[in-house]
Amino acid sequence: MNSKKGRIATGVLSIATMSIVIFFWLETRSSTQRQILQYRFMDSVLLTSKPEKIALGSSTIKYWPSQHVPCGPWLNRGIGGATINDVLNYVQDAPGRKVESVLLYVGDNDIAFGASPLYALKSAARLIQTIEHRMKPQTLYLLPVKWSPARAEFTENFKIFNRRLEQYASTQASVVYLPHRMQTAAYPPTAGLYLPDGLHLSTAGYEYMFSSLRKTCVGFKPSR
């Protein structure tokens, strides 16, 4: 009996020790890395069925009000603070699966963190190619970078990136570029389209951003 209790106690101690090690290891990871690890766990353990539609990107995707997003339901895999390479990191190790649609929003943080529009475009093209290889979506919807008061200094670079992104999308059979009202107009903070940080969108801002996506929900087929 004592031997059995001893083995149980040893097992509990081992689990507790491992949990502590994992906790401190996670604490050494960046915020984006922790989010990716969380998604990997959710994808491998918690998903009970294969998602038909998946949304990828930075916090603009992560924090959207899901009840207002058209054409869903979408599996949200937005990563707060992510660059294109962070999203690529998730996609490369995500379970290989064929999905119907992918919705992608990237480039905002890359340019704000110092990347040139051309460098961001090359990174986005690599990500799109990886998504198409790993997930084989029938359609990949591509959202251009939005304008925001907090990042007004990057407006010109955002415009350049968006133009080049649209040009790239036009050369890809399954990629659909979705222009929206938030990408060019400089709305004042008082317009009610942004949260107080001047960067993230309010529910009204998301309505503007997803207006073009809504039009694709019924009977839309990309030209091939």
β-pair partners for 56? 77, 104
What is the reported pTM? Answer: 0.81
d(CA 16, CA 18): 5
Q: What is the pLDDT of residues 90-120, one digit of tens each?
A: 999 877 778 899 999 999 999 999 999 999 9
pLDDT of residue 195: 94
Q: 97 or 123, which is more confident? A: 123
pLDDT mean over 199-224: 76
The alpha carbon of residue 1 and the mean position of all alpha carbons in its chain are separated, in whole angstroms, by: 53
pLDDT at 196 over 50: yes
**Token code pair at residue 20:** 């502590």
Q: Are 198 and 148 in contact (CB under 8 A)?
A: yes
d(CA 5, CA 122): 59
- Region of poorest pLDDT, from 26-35, 36-45, 50-59, 121-130: 26-35
Spatial CB neighbours of 93, under 8 Å, sequence gap ≥ 6: 40
Give the CATH superfamily of 49-214: SGNH hydrolase (3.40.50.1110)
Q: What is the pLDDT of residues 131-180, one digit of tens each?
A: 999 999 999 999 999 999 999 999 999 999 999 999 999 999 999 999 99
- Region of poorest pLDDT, from 40-44, 82-86, 198-202: 40-44
Q: What is the pLDDT of residues 45-87, one digit of tens each?
A: 766 567 789 999 999 999 998 777 888 889 999 999 999 999 9
Give the residue carrying structure tokens 């990629």: 175
**Token code pair at residue 134:** 């790993």
**Token code pair at residue 130:** 């990886």
At 8, the pLDDT band (50, 70, 90 cuts) reads low
